[in-house]
Chains A and B, each alone.
Chain A
Amino acid sequence: MINRRYLYLLTAALIVVITYALTNRSPERPIASKSTHSPLPPHSEPKEVNKQIKVKGRKVLGLTPGEENKEVEDLKFANDISEEWQEGVEKALRAQGGSSLSDIDIKKTDSFIWAHEGVALNVESVLITLKNHNGEERKFRAMVDSESGKILRTWDHPVIDPMNPRESRGVSIDPRYHNN
């Protein structure tokens, strides 16, 4: 009888402890691990990686882990930073888009230094918004040369879902190819 009473007390105490633990768990300080987790691996200290090094306020990307400081000292810059890069971007877009565009908007979202094999390039990451004469709008991202405004890469282009895929613009064959 006494043993059973102790058992009840022990169970109640356990419930209190578990409830306390569950209601007070901190998001940054885990209190327990799920039983399904495997044991920790042999070495488990999280390492600091991709240390963000900056030169003249610009993040430097592309450095070899562990060699960052030395590589930054040895970097040779391939371009300068010019105020006119934005004009260069717009000129390139106008050259390709011609009269089809009613509006071009170029927003700088980041500036950084792109290091590759000892050569550093100042680049701007931009968001480009184009508008046509129907008022339709398209956005994509681009990496541009901070000096010339030359567009180096574009990405994040839109995924278009037309009501009827058959009405998408295709490329017609010149009738001279198959005139028979």
Chain B
Amino acid sequence: MIVVRHRMIKRSLSLLVTLFTLSSCNPTTIQGSNVRSNVVANDGSYDGKAFIYRDNPSILAGPKYGPKNPDMGSIMDGLRAELITTNTQLNGNCSIEFFFFGTYPAEVSNCIRSLKNHDNLQSLTRKADKTWMYEPGTSEFYQTNSLYHIQKGVNTFYSKLQFAYDRIHSLSFSMPKSIPSYLKDSKMYWFKGVSNTDSKLFRNDYLNAFAQCNEDKNAYFSPAGPELCFGYHSSFPGFYFVQDPTVIYHELGHALVSIMMNLRNGTSSSVQHKLRSNLGSFGYDEAGALNEGIADYFSFVMNKRTHLGEWAMGKTAKQSRPMAESESVHITGIAETSEGRLSYPQFLLYDPNYPDSPYEDVHYAGQIVSHYLVALTKSFKNKCGISSESNGGHDTATSYVMMLVAETLSEIGDLNAKGIDDFGSPFVLDIFFNNLNPNDSYLWSQIINQTTYRRFFQIFAKNIYKYMTPSIGGLCPAFTKNDSEKLLDDYGLLLFKTYNDNGNSSSDRAVTYTNAVSFIPSQPLTSVTETNRRKSVLVSKELLSLAEKTDSTPDAISYYIIDNRSDMEGLLQDLLFKGLSVPISSEVASIDYNNGNIKISPGEIVAVIPNLHNSSNSVMAGVQLLANDWDHVHITDTTTGNYKPCVLDATTTVDQGGEAGNTCLPANGYPDKDYKRLVKDPVTKLFPTDAAAPACLVQLADDTSTRWVSQNEFRKKQGLSLVDKDCLGYTTSGTTDSDFTFNPHECLVRFLPGATDAFFSKIDPQKNYYESVVKISDTMQFNSGNLLLMEVNRWIPPGTKFRCRLRARFSNCSDCYNDSTNGNDDFLDSDYNGSKPFKIINFEFDVND
């Protein structure tokens, strides 16, 4: 009550002062329910300025305020006008200074453009009185406020990036670093890589911010714009996301993640990698959860509050999010103690607002990340002598954390695949330490070895160890390796055995950093102190399998099929709107064949959700399932590309046509060092001798035996005689990119390119995924991230049997990442082309009407 009264007095005083200020010297008309003033000439002190709201209405006017037609005039701070921009149009500027043997200022003018919506692409022009003061609640007012908060966020980010750059590049040259020293030249500190340098017609160095975007109950960041969009609520007139600065910071946080992920993807102002790295995909995955957690944390960086979205998500949907265990919204038991942390994987599905209703979503899972980052910030403040604000506590501690985040994301998103640099420039040699190689780096970094909590926090821990803890040159030697590992473990995130200090040496373990850059020595491997691992439980991949019906589990389903026509139509449309275009074959498969019998039938396009089972006594989390091509065959004939499947598990044996020798043996180069698909060379017209083959084999029965063979071999036997044009993926337009070239070895069934990986948040002990996540949710629905899309050729004879060799691993896996024969060093990138890091999941089915 006292708090409420105090707030009311404060608000009234604020309004009085506002009125006084406005009536005495305000240069323009400002109206709100309680505010009105006349135009007063700007004496110059208001040039480029406007009154703004500093926080959201739930904080400034109290939790009971709103949500219908909020009076923003009473929310804004009428005491002090703030500089919006010195430009004559409502655009912001980005400037940063790099210190690398001299100070190099860099600036992108007009880097931010604040607009109303997609239908209004003309920036506002400064008013005649040289201010940006508009009536509260108007579109112009929101655009002005939007630019204020975005510019403030960008300035803060650049001060952190500058700190990171200067700090990292002031350290010894012999230390491998990720943020490139040539950042000023590449201009990748802004959205340079998405701009078209050749065309003046389509210039998009701008980050467009749409303050009143045409999105009902949504906000988003779109890297392809790049643009930020702040939507509205159709049921509450006058309610906008942009009224909540914490959401502006969150969305901007996604944009900054996109920048940090691509710091290494340009080498000069005109040379960038042809693609860009993203953190997260179309449905649930841990990369997306990391993105959400870091974006939440950026709101904390900006306003020091450990809660966000009280207005935009909290007011009508009760979905605001905390970032510290001390927040009152949490359930009993969550506390800032080792035992009470919001730990992985226990709290992956935790919604603090509805704790009894678990739900798989990146925003909930991301809370583990934001809580960890906030806890780390507090630890730095306590341990590094920066506990009080008088010595810059929050600013300094968040600079440390953002430095670690930037250095980590820079390494993760590296599509040029080199990992480290020569002095002042990339090294020239064709050696790679990260994401396999520049040609396949997108596939590796986004799908095959995609970012998970394990990958992110392993690199993050390495960077703490490199930049924070050393007694010489470390930013905070008092924050020891043990402190770091214990805090990670409190959050269940100590998911790795070593720091992988030497990178993934992409295809040859003997190649070290010194081979690429003579002054960077080979990096010794740092092991995690095992006694620090108390909450982070690692589990063997051998305990993961497809669910099976048994006496004790009579209801278990091995896999779910979605083949209902309208469901599939909606699903494909939804995926396209999220940015996933899948190349559907013409003539031989179509959703018109979908019959809704929850079986795989000829001609259908279906969604497959394998239901994985955890036989261990601990939770498995971050489970990834791959259905893409991989090296699992011995090619016996280069004119047809026909092959024998390698014997890699107990399921496919020599008796069933398997190959136990030849190119299936490590001694003979298994798995391939490069990723190459099993398609004809357009010049020699021959298939390669070693290649990654499609995941699905087909069963061929002849007079004497039953064998698992290539689909290419099958289609020409069994009286089928299917010609190329009757195969899936056939194209008449000539050979294209090898990843999309017609591949006769997937003539009958194939997983659609782009939809070949599925992700599952967690599987409880002795349960399957359905029981662990779907069954306990209110909606009883699968997430779009759980499914694989498959095409089925209409000409397949009924009864034909298929075996698809999928590969699975998970984040807290004890034997999916380390090579025990090499001191627990991480597997090489090229190892992910084979079976070693994965458990093979044999998905078998008959095609029947």
Which A residues form the contact surface with B (CB < 8 A)?
Answer: 25, 27-34, 36-44, 46-47, 49-50, 52, 61-62, 64-66, 76, 78-80, 88, 92-93, 95-98, 100-101, 107, 109-110, 112, 114, 116-119, 121, 123, 125, 127-128, 130, 132, 134-143, 145, 147-148, 150-174, 176-178, 180
Whether A43 touches B518, Cβ cut-off 8 Å, given contacts A156-B579, A165-B363, is: yes
**A172 neighbours in B (Cβ, 8 Å):** 567, 780-782
CA distance A116 to B443 in the complex (A): 15
B795 contacts chain A at the CB level, 8 A cutoff = no
Contact with A along B439-474 (1 / 0, CB 8 A): 100100010000000000000000000000000000
- A163 in contact with B317 (CB, 8 Å): yes
A-facing residues in B202-241 (Cβ within 8 Å): 202, 214-225, 227, 231, 233, 241
**Apart from the given pairs A27-B104, A46-B424, A109-B196, 9 other A-B contacts in the complex at a CB distance below 8 Å:** A29-B102, A49-B267, A76-B682, A110-B196, A119-B683, A130-B577, A132-B577, A145-B737, A145-B740
Contact with B217, one of A49, A138, A143, A162 (Cβ below 8 angstroms): A162
- B734 in contact with A79 (CB, 8 Å): yes
Whether A171 touches B429, Cβ cut-off 8 Å, given contacts A107-B202, A150-B736, A156-B278, is: no
Q: Is chain B's interface secondary structure helix, strand, loop, or mixed overall?
A: loop
**A33 neighbours in B (Cβ, 8 Å):** 101-102
Whether A96 touches B572, Cβ cut-off 8 Å, given contacts A41-B519, A150-B731, is: yes
Contact with A along B621-634 (1 / 0, CB 8 A): 00000000000000
Contact with A116, one of B364, B575, B738 (Cβ below 8 angstroms): B738
Q: Nearest Cβ in chain B — how far from A13, in angstroms? A: 24
**B274 neighbours in A (Cβ, 8 Å):** 61, 112, 114, 125, 143
**Highest count of chain A CB atoms <10 Å: which of B222, B427, B519, B582:** B222
Contact with A along B268-290 (1 / 0, CB 8 A): 10110011101011100000100
- B423 in contact with A44 (CB, 8 Å): yes
Instruction: Please name the residue on chain A nearest to B781 by beta carbon.
Output: A170
- A121 in contact with B779 (CB, 8 Å): no
- B598 in contact with A140 (CB, 8 Å): no
B784 contacts chain A at the CB level, 8 A cutoff = yes
- A142 in contact with B218 (CB, 8 Å): no
**Highest count of chain B CB atoms <10 Å: which of A25, A137, A153, A159:** A159
Whether A157 touches B363, Cβ cut-off 8 Å, given contacts A64-B430, A119-B683, is: no
Contact with A along B486-526 (1 / 0, CB 8 A): 00000000000000000000000000000000110000000
- B734 in contact with A161 (CB, 8 Å): no
- B733 in contact with A79 (CB, 8 Å): yes
**B676 neighbours in A (Cβ, 8 Å):** 117
- B361 in contact with A168 (CB, 8 Å): yes
- A177 in contact with B583 (CB, 8 Å): no
- B102 in contact with A30 (CB, 8 Å): yes
- A41 in contact with B173 (CB, 8 Å): yes
Which B residues form the contact surface with A (CB < 8 A)?
Answer: 99, 101-105, 118, 166, 169-174, 194, 196, 198-199, 202, 214-225, 227, 231, 233, 241, 247, 250-251, 254, 267-268, 270-271, 274-276, 278, 280-282, 288, 291-292, 312-313, 316-317, 319, 351, 359, 361-364, 422-430, 438-439, 442, 446, 518-519, 555, 557, 560, 562, 564, 567, 569-584, 598, 607, 609, 676, 681-683, 731, 733-740, 754, 774, 778-784, 786-787
Q: Nearest Cβ in chain A — how far from B156, in angstroms? A: 20
Q: Nearest Cβ in chain B — how far from A57, in angstroms? A: 10
- A139 in contact with B227 (CB, 8 Å): yes
- A109 in contact with B202 (CB, 8 Å): yes
CA distance A172 to B561 in the complex (A): 11
CA distance A97 to B607 in the complex (A): 17
Whether A160 touches B102, Cβ cut-off 8 Å, given contacts A46-B424, A50-B426, is: no
CA distance A42 to B517 in the complex (A): 10
* 26 A–B pairs (Cβ distance < 8 Å), ordered by A: A32-B102, A34-B99, A50-B426, A78-B682, A93-B581, A96-B575, A100-B573, A109-B199, A116-B738, A123-B737, A127-B224, A141-B194, A141-B276, A152-B737, A156-B276, A159-B223, A159-B291, A160-B218, A161-B221, A163-B317, A164-B319, A171-B607, A171-B783, A172-B781, A173-B781, A176-B598
Contact with A153, one of B225, B312, B442 (Cβ below 8 angstroms): B442
Contact with A139, one of B225, B426, B569, B778 (Cβ below 8 angstroms): B225
**A109 neighbours in B (Cβ, 8 Å):** 196, 199, 202
Instruction: Please name the residue on chain A nearest to B738 by beta carbon.
Output: A116
- A41 in contact with B423 (CB, 8 Å): yes
Q: Nearest Cβ in chain A — how far from B203, in angstroms? A: 10
**A127 neighbours in B (Cβ, 8 Å):** 202, 224
- A155 in contact with B173 (CB, 8 Å): no
List the 6 closest A-B pairs by CB distance, nearest first.
Answer: A30-B102, A157-B579, A170-B781, A148-B733, A140-B579, A41-B519
Q: Nearest Cβ in chain B — how far from A139, in angstroms? A: 4
- B598 in contact with A177 (CB, 8 Å): yes
- B317 in contact with A96 (CB, 8 Å): no
- A157 in contact with B278 (CB, 8 Å): yes
**B571 neighbours in A (Cβ, 8 Å):** 171
- A118 in contact with B733 (CB, 8 Å): no
- B251 in contact with A157 (CB, 8 Å): no
Whether A174 touches B426, Cβ cut-off 8 Å, given contacts A30-B104, A78-B736, A164-B317, is: no
- A50 in contact with B574 (CB, 8 Å): no
**B569 neighbours in A (Cβ, 8 Å):** 98
Contact with B582, one of A49, A76, A96, A170 (Cβ below 8 angstroms): A96
Q: Nearest Cβ in chain A — how far from B769, in angstroms? A: 12
- A152 in contact with B584 (CB, 8 Å): no
**A95 neighbours in B (Cβ, 8 Å):** 584
CA distance A176 to B169 in the complex (A): 61
**Highest count of chain B CB atoms <10 Å: which of A38, A41, A157:** A157
CA distance A38 to B520 in the complex (A): 13
CA distance A161 to B364 in the complex (A): 12
- B101 in contact with A30 (CB, 8 Å): yes
**A162 neighbours in B (Cβ, 8 Å):** 217-218
